[in-house]
Amino acid sequence: RKEVEQDPGPFNVPEGATVAFNCTYSNSASQSFFWYRQDCRKEPKLLMSVYSSGNEDGRFTAQLNRASQYISLLIRDSKLSDSATYLCVVNIGVGGGNKLTFGTGTQLKVEL
């Protein structure tokens, strides 16, 4: 089983749609969680951290369910510029060397 699993997509949605991505992680000792965005042939860029209480940043909402080891990202009012691959990322913490483990990413294509 992969440490971080995501549906690779692609998700093709019309502009203005709401789209949700899910991610599961296998290590219950994981301590911090992130969503990164990666554009084609570019480095990943931090989109937002994910907290158990849920957090929102503009059109983006992230949620963490530690009991189910499940992370989600909701994008409202999709823009063409949201087209990218969204990477679910987990950090096990100091005990694991503070290393980031990446999912394979979910590809989003927003269309006119």
| For another protein, the closer CB: 55 or 91 | 91
| Residue selected from 1, 29, 97, 112 as contacting another protein according to rule CB under 8 A | 97
Q: Count of residues binding another protein (CB under 8 A)? A: 24
Q: What CA–CA distance (Å, rounded) separates 4 from 53?
A: 21
Position 100 contacts another protein (CB under 8 A) = yes
Compute the distance between CA of residue 89 and CA of residue 21 in angstroms, rounded to an integer.
13
Cβ proximity to another protein, 93 vs 109, nearer residue: 93
Residues of span 7-66 touching another protein by CB under 8 A? 8, 31-32, 34, 41-46, 49
Phi-psi region for residue 94, left (φ > 0), alpha (ψ -120 to 50) or beta?
alpha
In terms of CB distance, is 13 or 100 closer to another protein? 100
Q: Name which position in 47, 62, 73, 87 contacts another protein (CB under 8 A).
A: 87
Q: How many CB atoms lie within 10 A of CB 17?
A: 15
Interaction site with another protein (CB under 8 A): 4, 8, 31-32, 34, 41-46, 49, 87, 91, 93, 97-105
